[in-house]
Every structure is written in structure tokens, then in C-alpha cells.
């Protein structure tokens, strides 16, 4: 349920009141301080509801809910009393950003309250938001307890094990353990199936989609996004010519480097390796305020994520740092698991670098956020990183195929969502089969919706473009960073200070498209990622 902030949604110049510009600036600053308190209470409630802890700073959930509610009432009154005219451009932008951020909050609710159950997805009367919540619940309830070999396995572990299990028959059995999830989310694949109803509702929405937002971030059009995805997938196809493989064998075919290096990555060592690498990049995660929730447990989110616990701010001229939290589930020590953790800590490095007034201590455009988190994580697939942090290295071609085999799945999902949101009447199984057959050399299986492996597909249709197209931005950021400070795959203490000063410190203040163009010295293009595809063809 979305919160309804009546006064916050008024046009800026309909606000009541008056006063001198200096008084207005002071009133806005007071409202912004309340806004920061409300947002932090919201963040703490989210952390408690995730299962991270049941108290924070000595207060339980009820106390934080009351702090959120009373703070919101106070903020509404402060916003309504702001002057009607005469605001500076800077003040007007702050007010607008507060209104935008608050209107997008999900109302905090106790765990299990107000959440659609997976079974509700079969109801034909659900609107877009309710249907999406129901399908996300399916991922939590079903994908976290897939039946396999007399026990259960969660979605993330199952996908990782598809790259590790040597026996093709066992891989196929594990692959088909997703069948209950496929059935719950896509039913009989008719137009009345839950997923197909969701994508039709998503396509009919008037709000810009994640694909539209991603196109704006990189300064291009939705049509050009699809064209770039096709160029990237074609380059991958050409660099990886070979026989067709079954879908349950794809990750195994790409996973040779991971299998070679997995014995050197104990699950208990994941954080230590991650922290050592970031320390060599100038980021002291082992002394930062970061809460890690990475042990598997029932009912946990089926997707890894990072979020603010509390946002950094200046008090009496002193910076109080951001506190972040990382949620994931790791049962095995693999290069893929470590890559995901380094990606999540890329988010931590991002948000803890922000130094700005409270309203701007926040995420900026989603595509940029996801792309930046991979700037460090891609290094794990470089021989220099592997030799330094694991004491051995896989062949360069195997490592690059392990990395970009996963990246190309994201590109395939991004193209899939572009096509489904453009023409929601299409059969998703056929769309996915065509993409994976043409570009990933995967044997067609249009009878099964094996594309249903990522919760983002139902949480926010179109979101996968932030990973697929985000790879374009990641490659460009890595190339620009190397050109400016030198290699960093095996560490470089200039990495974090330089990126913080030139790219990260602004938070959400700067327009991301303009910031990227300034940082890169020109428009975003797929050239750096296409160069990565050529590396694969040339590597041995």
C-alpha cells in the first residue's frame, strides 16, 4: 500500500504561508531534518521486518513505528507551512525531492501483515500492485524451498549449483525443481496466467517503465536500448560459437573457472576476501558501519540486496556516517557467490561515499546504481585478481566466459522484457526461446518457462534492463577508471578516493545522464563492452 501525502502532493506553489527568503530557507532546513528522521525510521522498520534484528538503538519495532508516524505528521505540517513563492531554485529543488521521495515510500507494516499470499496470484481481480506482490510472495515461499534429492534448496543456491554439479542428469533434475515456481507464476502460459496478466498491466501503465528510465539515464531512446542489447548479444554469439547446449547445462558450460577456483573459497572466508579487496581499493568495510545478514534462513528475501539502515548527515558541522545493511544467503563458497557479495559491497561503497545535505543522501538512477556496483565485482574474473586474492588463476578465456556468460543472461532477460512490455500479447516462452537459441546457443524448450528464475521479473517488469544494459555502463566506467588511475583489478588505493570525488559524493543531487557524460568525457556507448567480447575471442 502506498502512503497518501495530501499536502506533499500539492504543486509547489500551492503551499500556504509566506515570509522572507531567509526564513523560508530556515523552514526548509527544519523540514529537511524531520524528513531525514522519518526516512531513517522507515529504514529501521525495513531492517527489522527483514529479520536482521528486532531492536535498534534500544528501541523495538513499535517505538520505531511511532517515531515514523509522529515524524510524518510533523513533516506534513512543516511542508504545508512553507512559503508559496519566492523560493530559490536550490530550495525549490529540495522541497520537490522531499515530496518525490516521500510519495514513493511503502507504508511500513509488521511482517506478514498486508502481504498478498502466493495463492492470491490466481485471482483475476488483482490490480498491478497486488498481483506483483502476490508473485513476489511466490518467489519467497516456493523459490526458497525447492525440492531436490530428498531435501530443499533455495533459488540462489540452485542456480549456483547448476554451475558446479558434474552429472548432467542431476543438473537436469535440479533445473526442473523450479517447476512449482513456474506453475505458480505462469500457470498454463495462457493469456490468463498470472505473469501474462502482470506484464499486460505493466505495459498499460502510464508511468515510465524501468526501460524508459534506463534509456533516459544513458541519454538514448528505448529503441536504441534494444539495438544495443542486440549488438551485445550478437557479439557474444560470435565469440562463443559452438554446439547447442541444454538450458540446464548452460551455467555448467560457463562455469569452468568457478569450479577450478571454488576449493580456494570457503563460505566462511567470503567476507574476509571481499573486505581485503576493498581495503586495497581504499574502502575500509571492516571498520565501516555495515550490517551483514548473509546466513540462510527460512522466509528470507529470495534476492540479495543492499539498503540504507540510516542515512549519513551533518550535525553541528560533523559528518555522521551512513549505516548500510547487506542481505543475501550463502551456503557455498564459489566465485559466483563472492562476485555477488562484492557487488553488494559496491553498493555500500557507493552510498557511504555520499557527502551532501540529507535530501540528496540517497540512491540516484537505478541503472547507474547497479552498474557501479559491478565496477569492482568484474575484477574477480581477471587473472590478476585471482592470483592476488586466491593464490591461483583460471585461464583468461574461462574466466571471461564465466563472467560474461552470466552478463549475457542478464542481457537476454533485458531484451525479453523490452519485447514483452512492447507487445504483451506475445508468448513469453516463445520470446525467451528465440533469444536464447539465437544468441546463447541454448536448445529450444518452448514448453517450459525457464526464464522464471529472477524475482525482478515480477517485482518490477522491465527492471532486468538495469543489469543487462547496466553492463554497458559498467564496462565504460571500468575503462575510464583504468585510464585515469591505472589498473585496479589487484587493488589500487586511489580507486575509492578518486571515484568518491568525481562520481559518488553527489548522491541524488546531480542528473545522472549529465554526470555520466561528464565523467566519461562523452556519451555512453556499448564500445567498451563490445571490446570485452573481443577479448573472449582472443583469449586462451
Summarised one tens digit per residue, pLDDT across range 322-378 is: 999 999 999 889 999 999 999 999 999 999 999 999 999 999 999 999 999 999 999
Per residue in 168-226, pLDDT (tens digit) is: 999 999 999 999 999 999 999 999 999 999 999 999 998 889 999 999 999 999 999 99
**Residue 368 maps to a domain:** no
Give the pLDDT confidence of 14-48 residue by residue, as tens digits: 333 344 578 888 999 999 999 999 999 999 999 99
Buried (b) or exposed (e) across 44-59, using 16+ Cβ within 10 A?
Answer: bbbbbebebeeebeee
pLDDT at position 117 is 84
Structural Rg of the chain based on CA atoms: 23
Going by pLDDT thresholds of 50, 70 and 90, the confidence category of residue 12 is very low
Residue 15 lies in a domain: yes
How many other β-carbons are positioned within 10 Å of the β-carbon of residue 484? 13
Would you say residue 458 lies in a domain? no
Q: Which three cell numbers stand for residue 528?
A: 567498451
Enclosing domain of residue 35: 7-103
Is 356 contained in some domain? Answer: no
pLDDT of 20 reads: 55
Query: Against a cut of 0.85, is the pTM above it?
Result: yes
The pLDDT tens digits for 369-412 are 999 999 999 999 999 999 999 999 999 999 999 999 999 999 99
Name the region of 448 (left: φ>0; alpha: ψ -120 to 50; beta: rest).
beta
- For residue 419, being part of any structural domain is answered with no
341 assigned to some structural domain? no
Q: How many domains does the chain have?
A: 1
pLDDT band, residue 140 (cuts 50/70/90)? confident
Q: pLDDT, tens digit, for every residue of 153-176?
A: 989 889 999 999 999 999 999 999
* pLDDT at position 16: 35
Mean pLDDT of 499-517: 96
For the residues 64-83, what does the mean pLDDT come to? 92
pLDDT tens profile 267-296: 999 999 999 999 999 999 988 789 999 998
Cα-based distances in Å from 420 to 197, 267, 416, 490? 12, 38, 6, 41
The alpha carbon torsion through 305, 398, 436, 177 (nearest 10 deg) reads: -60
| Residue 142 included in any domain | no
pLDDT tens for each residue of 86-132: 888 889 999 988 888 877 766 654 444 334 589 999 999 999 999 99
Q: What are phi and psi of 287, to 5 degrees?
A: -120, 0
The answer to whether residue 537 sits within a structural domain is no
**For 35, phi and psi rounded to 5 degrees?**
-55, -45
Amino acid at each position: 500500500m502506498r502512503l497518501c501525502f495530501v499536502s506533499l502532493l500539492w504543486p509547489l506553489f500551492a503551499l500556504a504561508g509566506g515570509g522572507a527568503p531567509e526564513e523560508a530557507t530556515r523552514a526548509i532546513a527544519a523540514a529537511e531534518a524531520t524528513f531525514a528522521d522519518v526516512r531513517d525510521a522507515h529504514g529501521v522498520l525495513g531492517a527489522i521486518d527483514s529479520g536482521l534484528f528486532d531492536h535498534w538503538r534500544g528501541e523495538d519495532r513499535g517505538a520505531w513505528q511511532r517515531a515514523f508516524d509522529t515524524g510524518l505528521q510533523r513533516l506534513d505540517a512543516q511542508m504545508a507551512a512553507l512559503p508559496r513563492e519566492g523560493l530559490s531554485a536550490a530550495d525549490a529543488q529540495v522541497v520537490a525531492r522531499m515530496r518525490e521521495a516521500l510519495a514513493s515510500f511503502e507504508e511500513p507494516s509488521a511482517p506478514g501483515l498486508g502481504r498478498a499470499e502466493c495463492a492470491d496470484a490466481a485471482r483475476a481481480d488483482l490490480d498491478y500492485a497486488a498481483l506483483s506482490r502476490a508473485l513476489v510472495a511466490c518467489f519467497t515461499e516456493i523459490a526458497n524451498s525447492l525440492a531436490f534429492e530428498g531435501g530443499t534448496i533455495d533459488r540462489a543456491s540452485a542456480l549456483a549449483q547448476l554451475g558446479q554439479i558434474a552429472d548432467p542428469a542431476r543438473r537436469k533434475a535440479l533445473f526442473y525443481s523450479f517447476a512449482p515456481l513456474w506453475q505458480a507464476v505462469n500457470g498454463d502460459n495462457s493469456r490468463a496466467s498470472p505473469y501474462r496478466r502482470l506484464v499486460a498491466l505493466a505495459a498499460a501503465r502510464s508511468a515510465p517503465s524501468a526501460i524508459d528510465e534506463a534509456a533516459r539515464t544513458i541519454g538514448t531512446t528505448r529503441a536504441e536500448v534494444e539495438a544495443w542489447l542486440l549488438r551485445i548479444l550478437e557479439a557474444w554469439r560470435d565469440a562463443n560459437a559452438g554446439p547447442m547446449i541444454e538450458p540446464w547445462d548452460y551455467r555448467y558450460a560457463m562455469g569452468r573457472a568457478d569450479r577450478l577456483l571454488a576449493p580456494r573459497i570457503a563460505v566462511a572466508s567470503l567476507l574476509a576476501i571481499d573486505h581485503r579487496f576493498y581495503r586495497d581499493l581504499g574502502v575500509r568495510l571492516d571498520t565501516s558501519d555495515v550490517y551483514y545478514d548473509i546466513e540462510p534462513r527460512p522466509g528470507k528475501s529470495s534476492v540479495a540486496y543492499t539498503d540504507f539502515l540510516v542515512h549519513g548527515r551533518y550535525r553541528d558541522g560533523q559528518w555522521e556516517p551512513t549505516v548500510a545493511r547487506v542481505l543475501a544467503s550463502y551456503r557455498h563458497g564459489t566465485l559466483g557467490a563472492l562476485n555477488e557479495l562484492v557487488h553488494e559491497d559496491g553498493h555500500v561503497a557507493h552510498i557511504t561515499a555520499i557527502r551532501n545535505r540529507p535530501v540528496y543522501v540517497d540512491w540516484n538512477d537505478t541503472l547507474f546504481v547497479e552498474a557501479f556496483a559491478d565496477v569492482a565485482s568484474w575484477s574477480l574474473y581477471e587473472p590478476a585478481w585471482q592470483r592476488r586474492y586466491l593464490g591461483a588463476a583460471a585461464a583468461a578465456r574461462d574466466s571471461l566466459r564465466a563472467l560474461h556468460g552470466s552478463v549475457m543472461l542478464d542481457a537476454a532477460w533485458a531484451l525479453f522484457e523490452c519485447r514483452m512490455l512492447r507487445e504483451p500479447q506475445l508468448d513469453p516462452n516463445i520470446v525467451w526461446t528465440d533469444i536464447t537459441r539465437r544468441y546463447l546457443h541454448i536448445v529450444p524448450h518452448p514448453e517450459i518457462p525457464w526464464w522464471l528464475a529472477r524475482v525482478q521479473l515480477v517485482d518490477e517488469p522491465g527492471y532486468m534492463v538495469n543489469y543487462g544494459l547496466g553492463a554497458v555502463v559498467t564496462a565504460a566506467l571500468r575503462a575510464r577508471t583504468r585510464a585515469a588511475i591505472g589498473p585496479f583489478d589487484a587493488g589500487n588505493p586511489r580507486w575509492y578516493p578518486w571515484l568518491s570525488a568525481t562520481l559518488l559524493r553527489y548522491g541524488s543531487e546531480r542528473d545522472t545522464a549529465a554526470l555520466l557524460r561528464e565523467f566519461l568525457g562523452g556519451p555512453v556507448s556499448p564500445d567498451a563492452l563490445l571490446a570485452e567480447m573481443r577479448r573472449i575471442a582472443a583469449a586462451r
